[in-house]
Amino acid sequence: MTDSKSPLELEVAALIVQALNLEITPQEIDPAEPLYHEGLGLDSIDMLELSLAISKAYGFQLKSDAPDNASIFSSLQSLTRHIEKSRVK
C-alpha cells in the first residue's frame, strides 16, 4: 500500500468511504489500486452513488455514458486527477 497521498487524494478517499458507508478508513485506500471490482471491490451501483457524491462536493457532473469512465474510476489517483481538472468548487 502506498502511504503518501496528496491532500486531495485523502479528501476523495474520505468522500468514497463516507458516501458508500465503507468499513475501512480513507488511509486504507491504496491510490494505485482499482476501485471497481478487484481492489476496493466497488460495483456499478457504488459508482453511481459515488458519482452523485462527487457532483455535490465538486460541482461537476460525471455522466454514466461517458466513454472515459473506466479510466476515470480506475483508481483513486485517476479519479483525483479528473476531479482536480474538472472541479468548480
- Give the CATH number, domain containing residue 68: 1.10.1200.10
Residue 17, in any domain of the structure: yes
Q: What is the mean pLDDT of residues 10-31?
A: 97
Total tally of structural domains belonging to the chain: 1
Residue 23, in any domain of the structure: yes
The residue range of the domain holding 37 is 7-86
pLDDT grade for 64, boundaries at 50, 70 and 90: confident
**Would the pTM count as exceeding 0.85?**
yes
Q: What is the mean pLDDT of residues 59-85?
A: 92
Q: What is the mean pLDDT of residues 24-46?
A: 93
d(CA 20, CA 22): 5
Residue 62, in any domain of the structure: yes
Residue 2, in any domain of the structure: no
pLDDT grade for 52, boundaries at 50, 70 and 90: very high
Residue 35, in any domain of the structure: yes
> What CA–CA distances, in Å, run from 66 to 1, 7, 28, 63, 72?
30, 27, 28, 5, 10
